[in-house]
Chain A
Amino acid sequence: NAGVTQTPKFQVLKTGQSMTLQCAQDMNHNSMYWYRQDPGMGLRLIYYSASEGTTDKGEVPNGYNVSRLNKREFSLRLESAAPSQTSVYFCASSERSSGNTIYFGEGSWLTVV
């Protein structure tokens, strides 16, 4: 039982490049999330998927797209990376989207130069 697994762990991109962060969970959770964490700004929700087949914008969705590929997988795509997207990205999941413990992946450190 690996929990929430995300890849890659580290990535350096040039401005304008695109990339996809992959996330998978093996806990049979219904809900999945992508957060970004910047120094002194806590965890901000980018997108979430309350259940398979649905996705919704969070607090800071601009510049990102997501795909809930199936119940296990939830990917985050940067179409045209910008330096402002330099951050640590955490994927997370929970059994349901209301009042349940959220389990985080180990994080992906992304630098855009």
Chain B
Amino acid sequence: GENVEQHPSTLSVQEGDSAVIKCTYSDSASNYFPWYKQELGKRPQLIIDIRSNVGEKKDQRIAVTLNKTAKHFSLHITETQPEDSAVYFCAASETSGSRLTFGEGTQLTVNP
């Protein structure tokens, strides 16, 4: 089955700096890559996703890039703010269409 690895496990940045979280996946047939944000004690919520026919996608301060050849994708957050502090999860979808496999998460801390 699919295996997703996520790095780093913790990331601390100063407010206004950029943050980058990287994920690799094992199944070359995976074609859907969402990113979820989970605040402390809350449910995970989708913040952005990308499909295999697209190399990059942006939504305001958030962007995701995908390199299918290398089987990795990344989340980029620019101009970070304290409210961006949370755990971020990447995920990949198997082509069998049955489920998402999640990375282990990155704890992002944005220091004022």
Contact = CB atoms under 8 A, between A and B. Distances in A.
Label chain A's interface by main secondary structure: loop
Interface stretch (B12-20, B56-64, B72-80, B93-101): B93-101
B98 A97 contact: yes
B9 A97 contact: no
Interface string B80-109: 000000000100010111111111110000
Interface stretch (A20-28, A60-68, A70-78, A101-109): A101-109
Contacts of A59: 1, 101
A8 B98 CA distance: 27
Interface stretch (A11-19, A43-51, A79-87): A43-51
Contacts, number: 58
A76 to B, nearest CB: 15
A53 interface: no
A56 B99 CA distance: 10
Contacts of A43: 44, 89, 102
Nearest to A50: B98
A80 to B, nearest CB: 26
Nearest to A47: B99
Interface residues of B, number: 26
Contacts of A50: 97-98
A105 B98 CA distance: 19
A101 B21 CA distance: 20
B105 A101 contact: no
B102 A42 contact: yes
A41 B9 CA distance: 10
Contacts of B51: 99
Nearest to B43: A104
Between A58, A99, A106, the greatest number of chain B beta carbons within 10 A of the residue's beta carbon is seen for A99
A56 B97 CA distance: 12
Interface in B8-38: 9, 31-32, 34
A19 to B, nearest CB: 21
